[in-house]
Amino acid sequence: MDNKFYKINIYGCQMNVHESEKIAGILEEMGYTFTNDDNLADIIVFNTCCIRENAENSLIGHVGALKPLKKKKKGLIIAVGGCMTQQNGVGESLMKTFPFVDVVFGTHNLHNFKNLLENRIKTGKRVIEIKEGDLSICESITPKRTSYPNAWVNVMYGCNNFCTYCIVPYVRGREKSRMPSDVINEVKSLINEGYKEITLLGQNVDSYGKTADFNYDFADLITEIDKIEGDYRLRFMSNHPKDVNEKLVLAVKNSKHVCRSIHLPVQSGSTKILALMNRKYTREEYLEKVNLIRRHIPECAITSDVMVGFPNETEEDFLDTVDLVKQASFDGAFTFVYSKRKGTKAYDMDGHIDEAVKKDRIMRLVDVQNAINREKSKKYNGKTVTILCEDYDDKKGFYQGRDEFGRMIYFYSNKNLIGEFVDVTVVETGGISLKGEIKG
């Protein structure tokens, strides 16, 4: 058989990056080889995201741009999957808008992707499959991992929280935890294969096991994984502040491999807005969780997601957010402008905020976090830290890696150190990323 090539375009979060590794695994098993070139590809897959409007808009543009190629190359298969297709009616409307798209599949149809493709190839007919309801966990897909020395491992799927701005619970269904033994065995084999940093993934890892029929929580899981011998780091994301408790913090503290770094999305610093968001904690309760972490693990990095422009956010509410960001002194924050998502509760709320006001607030918030980053960077000056060398940046001519607190450090080396733990001394500090030199 001639070589057949696939390309995958990924949108959105880490969850999607890992899911794309599963799609790649299926395609490789079918005999396809990866390419980065649209012209060479026999199949192009779009793994979509719908968490914010801009991700959707860029998908529409990219799929549309393939029309001429599809005209030229009749055998080319274009498949669109992931969160966006799972929204009410969106899968069908994608099929209508783009008559040259061959396969549309939902978030819960990944395990059937091979069949869908084979169907398309055999019958020549366009296929759409979007399963509603709960996910049935599929343990039989072997992902084609693309981020050595890092590896992602799902611990759970879906979300039960229904934050009023968020589309995730509608497109990924209710929480489903994998069996502890499945997770532990996957991590064990990754460590045996030489992976050095394992990140456990879930929309809200702190509720691991809560809806399952086993009596085992996330703290139990990381404690058990930590017993696996080897030279590796363990990370996890994302957390929900309402579910972070002392048991989890102590599990991190007492572990050998878990990084002292916790992602704790706050979203807003205003108790009024948090209630409208259905976050189930107040500003004070959030800060108490920050204290809990810092009381037990003073050096622990805490990062966050912060949103501006949620409906009814006044200038005063926004200033509460700015104040909280300063008080919590985050070691990094992803900042977002609220994006209206059809089907969520917030979509139908009164009091949507003017775009210009949102823009002004995000710029002010980013300035505040940047100033915190610069201050924290200064503390790195002259310090020697251990980083895991993860990649080589062709453009900059530097290797790059992160310390256990998640700080990215660039450094020069004449030998390939990807996958090794390296001691570097920080010689230049600017914004959030630092420049270092290898010790000795």
Q: Point out which residues bind ligand SF4 (CB under 6 A).
A: 159, 161-163, 166, 168-169, 203-204, 240
Q: Which of 6, 32, 152, 165 binds ligand 5AD (CB under 6 A)?
A: 165
Q: How far is the CB of 51 from ligand 5AD (least distance, A)?
A: 5
Q: How far is the CB of 226 from ligand 5AD (least distance, A)?
A: 26
Pick the closer one to ligand SF4 by CB: 120 or 210. Answer: 210
Contact between 345 and ligand 5AD per CB under 6 A: no
Q: With CB cut-offs between 5 and 8 Å by kind, which of ligand 5AD, ligand SF4, none does residue 353 bind?
A: none
**Crossing angle of helices 246-253 and 218-226, rounded to 10°:** 10
Q: How far is the CB of 2 from ligand 5AD (least distance, A)?
A: 41
CA atoms of 244 and 242, how far apart (whole Å) = 6
CA atoms of 134 and 175, how far apart (whole Å) = 9
For 352-419, the DSSP string reads PPPHHHHHHHHHHHHHHHHHHHHHHHHTTTT-EEEEEEEEEETTTTEEEEE-TT--EEEE--SS--TT
Q: Which of 11, 32, 218, 338 binds ligand 5AD (CB under 6 A)?
A: 338
| Rg of the chain on CA atoms, in Å | 22
Pick the closer one to ligand SF4 by CB: 10 or 159. Answer: 159
Distances in Å between the alpha carbon of 328 and those of 65, 258, 332?
44, 22, 11
CA atoms of 396 and 373, how far apart (whole Å) = 22
Contact between 339 and ligand 5AD per CB under 6 A: yes
CA atoms of 118 and 6, how far apart (whole Å) = 15
Q: With CB cut-offs between 5 and 8 Å by kind, which of ligand SF4, ligand 5AD, none does residue 204 bind?
A: ligand SF4
Pick the closer one to ligand SF4 by CB: 48 or 203. Answer: 203
Binders of ligand 5AD among residues 220 to 279 (CB under 6 A) are: 265, 267
Contact between 144 and ligand 5AD per CB under 6 A: no
Contact between 113 and ligand 5AD per CB under 6 A: no
Contact between 303 and ligand 5AD per CB under 6 A: no
Contact between 105 and ligand 5AD per CB under 6 A: no
Q: How far is the CB of 48 from ligand SF4 (least distance, A)?
A: 16
CA atoms of 314 and 104, how far apart (whole Å) = 41
Instruction: Return the bridge partners of 10, or none.
Output: 47
3 state SS of 198: strand
